[in-house]
Amino acid sequence: MSDISIQASDGGTFSAYLAKPAMSTAPGIVLIQEIFGVNKEMREKADHFAEAGFVVTCPDLFWRQEPGIQLTDQSQGEWDKAFALYQGFHEARGVQDLISTLFHLRSLPECQGSVGTVGYCLGGKLAYLMATRSDADCSVSYYGVGIEGALEEAAAILRPLLLHIAEEDQFVSKEAQAEVKGALSASAHVTIHSYPGVDHAFARKNGTTFSQNAADLANQRTHAFLKEHLG
């Protein structure tokens, strides 16, 4: 497990955490951060996906503001910092950085070629946008924030997309959830799972809203989805 550098499409380089499986070649995953940066939580998730048989890269999407930021959800100061970074985040450039990461991952000798995306929170929306704007082989979104504002892009989804929605999500209203479900549920490429009684970030281990049962179920569904579509 190590940090690598990736060339941005508009100049400069950014870092990404790289986790490799035991086998010599494997499918790839671009793991997309929450608003807390490529922190211990994201690195551990990358390691777990690698243990399951994937080559994983988790890029630093806040590098234009503050490279290497690593926060938690355990203090108000860290929440304030995370929201400030989120407010300053340039979404379109972030998607381009993810596409650059996708290309880089596919070029690695350890990657067999098939690459999907998995994102959480901010990364959950970006995983949706990777399904609409990139040629990722499949994408998984955990409690993406703001997807309802990009539903006009839904017609561009041509590859499998899996959405995990927290029904008591404090950052995604019931109305927004209904919009997403209404717009995407009829698509042959989209699978939606909704989790009653759980809040945003239910799969953030050791987080303030973690739910073991919901996380286990969502993670099982994610791994089955990735195995089916990435091989």
Closest residue by Cα to residue 143 from 166, 159, 160: 166
Question: Do residues 59 and 97 make contact, with C-beta atoms less than 8 angstroms apart?
Answer: yes
Residue 217: burial class (beta carbons within 10 Å; 0-12, 13-18, 19+) = middle
Catalytic: 193?
no
Partnered with residue 166 across adjacent β-strands are 195
- How far apart (Å, rounded) are the C-alpha atoms in residues 37 and 88? 13
Report the relative pairing of strands 2-7 and 111-120 from DSSP bridges. unpaired
What's the chain's length in residues? 231
Instruction: Determine if residue 119 is left, alpha or beta; phi over 0 gives left, psi from -120 to 50 gives alpha, anything else beta.
Output: beta
Closest residue by Cα to residue 159 from 134, 182, 193: 134
Number of Cβ atoms within 10 Å of the Cβ of 157: 18
Instruction: Determine if residue 202 is left, alpha or beta; phi over 0 gives left, psi from -120 to 50 gives alpha, anything else beta.
Output: alpha
155 three-state secondary structure: helix
- Of 60, 169, 199, 229, the catalytic one is 169
Question: Do residues 49 and 22 make contact, with C-beta atoms less than 8 angstroms apart?
Answer: no
- Of 104, 164, 200, 229, the catalytic one is 200
Catalytic: 200?
yes
Q: Any idea which residues carry the catalytic annotation?
A: 169, 200
